[in-house]
Amino acid sequence: MKNLLFVFLIITTFAMKPMQAQLSVRDSIVSSWMFSVKMGGYIPAADLKDRYGNCFMVGLDIDKKTRSNWFFGIDGSFFSGKKVNNLAEIFGDIITDQGLFIGLNGELAGVEFFQRGFYAGGHIGKLIPVFGPNPNSGILIKIGGGYLQNQIHIRKPSVQVPQIEGEYAKGYDRLHSGFALRQQLSYMYSSNVKTINFMLGFEFIEGFTKNQRAFNYDTKVADLSQKLDVYIGIHATWFLPIYDKNQQKFFYD
């Protein structure tokens, strides 16, 4: 009996190996590491729209996708916008009637202002397989939390403008940061061809931020109020899945 049991175990072990090796993304849910590059357009809401206009986003996600279509990962996004609201109010005391700054040598200097910000955090997600070429495609829902920061970026010409340089710039840049929540709803297309993979969807970020500067020069007081900074946007993402050796072996079968 012992010999028969031993033979049975050997046969079972070798019989299972081909089954495991032939796991394919075409007909099975597979695990992988996913590296995603994304970009999108966002509109501000809540308190954020009082300070900025629409902005552009580029970002990176790194995920571990499991055999049960769960996602665990980290993500980061960089925001850049061309519209900053209320510039005349913020810099009114140090600009001319034409909206220009007077440089160190008395020269007039045209200064540009932009929105800059970033989000970094972690997330968890779940893929619901529908409308795709395989069970690794479908509706992807992600939720997460992290750190959000945004501020006014001041771009100066070659003319020196000491009133908005160095420590003085901090009195005007409206640097806000704090804890944030992130939600993402996307359609994920995971192709049977390894490099054709993408996501299209919506994203929402709600930041509970505070002004990180001790004093605003234009208002002459400290801004101690809690802000709700909300980004609402659409994104397009390309991702590269890295499968284990057994799954890669049969990827193109």
* Tens of pLDDT, residues 140-175: 999 999 999 999 999 877 778 888 888 888 999 999
- Residue environment code for 185-220, b if the CB has 16+ CB neighbours within 10 A, otherwise e: ebebbbbbeeeebbbebebbbbbebebebeebbeee
Band of pLDDT at residue 245, cut at 50, 70 and 90: low
Q: Is the dihedral of CA 144, 147, 151, 155 positive or negative?
A: negative
The distance of Cα 239 from the centroid of its chain, to the nearest Å, equals 14
Domain 2-249 part of CATH 1.10.10.1100: no
For the stretch 161-170, pLDDT in tens is: 888 888 888 9
Residue 163: CB atoms within 10 A of its CB come to: 18
Q: What is the pLDDT of residue 23?
A: 57
Whose tokens are 């990962």? That residue is: 73
Reported as a single tens digit per residue, the pLDDT across 3-37 is: 444 433 443 444 334 334 455 677 788 999 999 99
Question: Is pLDDT above 50 for 59?
Answer: yes
List 138's β-bridge partners, or say none: 129, 188
C-alpha dihedral (6, 11, 16, 22), degrees to nearest 10: 150
Model confidence at 246, pLDDT cuts 50, 70, 90, reads: low
Q: What are phi and psi of 188, to 5 degrees?
A: -110, 125
The domain locations on the chain are: 2-249
Question: Rounded distance, CA 72 to CA 61, Å?
Answer: 10
Question: What is the pLDDT, as a whole number, of residue 237?
Answer: 97
- CA-to-CA distance for 127 and 138, rounded, in angstroms? 6
DSSP reduced 3-state for 214: coil
Phi and psi at residue 52, in whole multiples of 5°? -140, 165
For 102-121, b/e burial (b = at least 16 CB within 10 A) is: ebeeeeebebebbbbbbbbb
- Percent of the chain at pLDDT exceeding 90: 60
Q: Which two tokens stand for residue 69?
A: 């279509």
Give the pTM: 0.84
